[in-house]
Structure 1
């Protein structure tokens, strides 16, 4: 006996934690969760979730209260996440890689009554100022708070049932903070249910074995991990991505699905272990969170048989596109077509809707849209756009256009656009030319202040190992191939580009690095 997936697609709303309990009844001994040498079957997973939910209720937490989790990937982390949800408590997963000031700002914004963390996080972020905050140590480290093993409710505990509603807050996903203080994106229970229904369309089922190699705080991970467990599949997690270990796990567990970010695909393609890997079951590969270069998509298609799907969208929801690369190999320069149920429009600087084919800011509306930014009504209003009929759309901040076949060609983020001498310059256009240089491995173009032009482009380049060219020669090569307004005023070589844990280049950090090391550019 198993869950009827077709009936789930027709169901307007359901509870993911309740589905895990159902899986425990249907297939108690099936492996649900794998991390290193630890494995939990559905019976053990469900019992652990019950103990966590009971512990939260014992503390007096009510549906709608918030708990924060700031820790590295672990089994207790997963139990804490689902346990909070089973109690109706909102989860705020915070990135351990954030600065202490950002973490404190996120904690204050969330109003969390409990924070679950580990020793590594506690040493970097003491949070001693919040005297009424209850800290729990997921790894039992005394530096991090009350020991997890002591805080858990006794074995066999069963929480008081709750009845979640579609408009309840499910989690607060804080934005990456690449441009400033992170904002708490309120995803509702109804929004997460829509994610589960889309997962069914992408082959997730009780037979799925999903290998996730990104952190648990990231929505990239959650859109794969939560449906995997709710639908009765096996979730294989990694504490930290490593190409050799990833390939070993994929083969050992006969993985069928994987969610990776572009830089991870890039590292796998460069790995000397890749060609020898035998992964016939891994037929569903997904990619999101950062630009996926067409040449890398083509290489993955050529060298790694199976389906390859790129998602372009927002954690805020609304904007959602899918590119099934294996079906449309001639469209790899795009991010695909609007997904089922998604309405994508393009607007100009004044907020006027543009006709098809014209380039503008991408806005979107779909079944999965954020409620808003938590306790930030002004920021929420800034993120919204309403059409002539009063329908609510979410603004992406990205620039793009629709091609004649209905595929979206993506440009840059509006805030990354460089205005030099009154002309709009898109960094991605310069980066596309720079990547053609045979000694360029990675690159990123930013805008920096210029006394003459207001802003001017500057390039950072990571050269291939053994490169013999110098920055001046590469700058000259580039400037001979781009338009006058696109010419870079400076080019710097770097060993690495600063990235978030899910692979986004942190252009803000590049700007700060440059401005700290250079005088204002006069030309």
Structure 2
């Protein structure tokens, strides 16, 4: 049956009305109060003229108001246009104009930037989402929250002023295949593109996770660290857990190195993080002696992880009482987030198995022919969670949505990997990360796996660079264990590489970091690694 996302949430959380649905800072909202706030926000949007099919732009961190607004927009049949609030002043007018949004929901932290740079965008109403209730007074003063009202103009209202008494509205459920949300790609290979996702995609993901049972489920709490403007964050970190009757814990100002602090504060049964978050937990002094027995479902997705790092993290968790291994998750924005999860049997180095209703195979990137089991190729995906296309740039659809070896439409991921004989998926890396050295193709993960065997290496990433002769070589970026002598470690790494790797795989340079750079989505920032000048021959 075709339903709104709100109806799926209502049915999934039936009987949980007194339980906490949203928690943020010291604030919490029960499911009963959550449903009421959604209806009040819906009435507020309707009062501003929002109708079915309209785009409502949201620029916010992870706050309860942003989640409430999403379901209110869904009830109307409108589209939530999730824009990364860290856009530059020059980009504000572009994004608002392209969306043709008459209503913009903007976090108070960036209200002045958005309102002052709206230019000739058609936006008529700005609803300012609060941040101050979720911050310490000290941090609030530092960020100057609560001062936006001195800068407001016509059409600007606070969230409190925006909410209206509920009416007798009926959810608009006819728009099943049309977009309900637009989330944006990471923009690591060019300008960020808006991925249009339908109710069909969200429902399919909910059904897939319900069937495999990898989430903690009813009555548990999940810590949400991925941003709501990402497909993974919105669908599998917020919508699916809420529909399963879970509490979602939001933290608007999260930084990757704060995972330990969040675990200590909230003690959630479930956490969704990227590879980098778990790597940084290894360096957290608190986690060294922590009791993690409360953590039942540690989830990891969004970036590649070597088998060596996975074993290291799993050992770390087990030694601190965590009863479960990392649940690895793989996917992309164009398929509404996750389509491959660790369930059944899995091993270190793979990303699990395709979810029910999903197909993932490897094909030859040049010919498009299917690769045999264990054969390396580009991974392509079929799933009923597939996007509708890219918003405003339909010509870009054909770059990703292309016929596969059977002649039907597949999503071409630009990820390299293979399928094992027993159906598990192994991701080797991105096509763009493959290094060509004197005609040899180099997969960085092979080198990373080797270097991580050295006990004094905390983290490692390999990218292409040029040596003093201008030749392309692998460059190893290393985070040493605290107290490690870098020169001694470099000699050990060079010796290990010489003994374990083919000549063309041996790094030409080693760079040392106290911490690798990360993007706002918690992924390794390979651009910064490639652009960094702290290299030596």
TM interval, shorter chain, is 0.7 to 0.9
Separation in 2 of the partners of 1:21 and 1:110? 29
Residue number among 174, 179, 185 corresponding to 1:169 in the alignment: 179
Residue of structure 1 equivalent to 2:232: 220
Separation in 1 of the partners of 2:475 and 2:282? 29
Q: Is the contact between residue 4 and residue 172 of structure 2 (CA under 8 Å) also seen in structure 1?
A: no
Deviation at 1:480, TM superposition (A): 2.2
Residue number among 104, 107, 110 corresponding to 1:118 in the alignment: 107
Separation in 2 of the partners of 1:114 and 1:59? 7
Change (3 A) 1:505 1:281: closer
> Structure 1: where are the runs of 5+ without partners?
1-11
Residue of structure 2 equivalent to 1:61: 50
Deviation at 1:386, TM superposition (A): 1.3
Deviation at 1:369, TM superposition (A): 0.9
Residue of structure 1 equivalent to 2:296: 283
Residue number among 506, 513, 519 corresponding to 1:494 in the alignment: 513
Separation in 1 of the partners of 2:283 and 2:516? 17
Separation in 1 of the partners of 2:334 and 2:152? 31
SS of corresponding position for 2:240: helix
Change (3 A) 1:100 1:199: farther
Residue of structure 1 equivalent to 2:423: 406
**TM-score normalized with structure 2 length:** 0.84
After the TM superposition, which residues 19-30 of structure 1 pair with which residues of structure 2 at under 5 Å, given as runs? Answer: 19-21=8-10, 26-30=15-19
| Structural RMSD (CA) | 3.0
Separation in 2 of the partners of 1:411 and 1:427? 8
Residue number among 88, 91, 94 corresponding to 2:77 in the alignment: 88
Separation in 2 of the partners of 1:320 and 1:164? 26
Q: Is the contact between residue 204 and residue 227 of structure 1 (CA under 8 Å) also seen in structure 2?
A: no
Separation in 1 of the partners of 2:188 and 2:492? 28
Change (3 A) 1:64 1:450: farther
Q: Is the contact between residue 214 and residue 238 of structure 1 (CA under 8 Å) also seen in structure 2?
A: no
- Stretch of structure 1 that moved more, 191-200 or 226-235: 226-235
After the TM superposition, which residues 1-400 of structure 1 pair with which residues of structure 2 at under 5 Å, given as runs? Answer: 12-21=1-10, 26-100=15-89, 106-122=95-111, 126-133=116-123, 134-139=125-130, 141-142=148-149, 143=151, 146-149=156-159, 151-159=161-169, 161-201=171-211, 202=213, 203=215, 205-222=217-234, 223-239=236-252, 240=254, 242-251=258-267, 255-274=268-287, 282-292=295-305, 293-299=309-315, 302-303=318-319, 304-306=322-324, 308-317=326-335, 320-324=339-343, 328=345, 331-350=347-366, 351-400=368-417
Q: What does the per-residue CA deviation read over 1:199-239, in whole Å, with 9 as the maximum and x for residues that have no partner?
A: 32324644332222333223332212112323433222223
SS of corresponding position for 1:316: helix
**TM-score normalized with structure 1 length:** 0.86
- Stretch of structure 1 that moved more, 229-238 or 408-417: 229-238
Q: What does the per-residue CA deviation read over 1:56-76, in whole Å, with 9 as the maximum and x for residues that have no partner?
A: 222222222212222222222
**1:485 and 2:504 matched:** yes
Deviation at 1:387, TM superposition (A): 2.9
Separation in 2 of the partners of 1:294 and 1:418? 23
> Structure 2: where are the runs of 5+ without partners?
131-145
Q: Is the contact between residue 59 and residue 85 of structure 2 (CA under 8 Å) also seen in structure 1?
A: yes
Q: Is the contact between residue 76 and residue 172 of structure 2 (CA under 8 Å) also seen in structure 1?
A: yes
Residue of structure 1 equivalent to 2:134: none
Separation in 1 of the partners of 2:6 and 2:47? 19
Separation in 2 of the partners of 1:274 and 1:494? 21
SS of corresponding position for 2:504: helix
- Stretch of structure 1 that moved more, 184-193 or 457-466: 457-466
Q: How many residues align?
A: 501
Separation in 2 of the partners of 1:102 and 1:444? 31
Q: What does the per-residue CA deviation read over 1:450-498, in whole Å, with 9 as the maximum and x for residues that have no partner?
A: 7977633222222222121238646744652432222333322222222
Change (3 A) 1:477 1:65: farther
**1:443 and 2:460 matched:** yes
- Stretch of structure 1 that moved more, 202-211 or 66-75: 202-211
Deviation at 1:27, TM superposition (A): 4.5
Change (3 A) 1:216 1:41: same
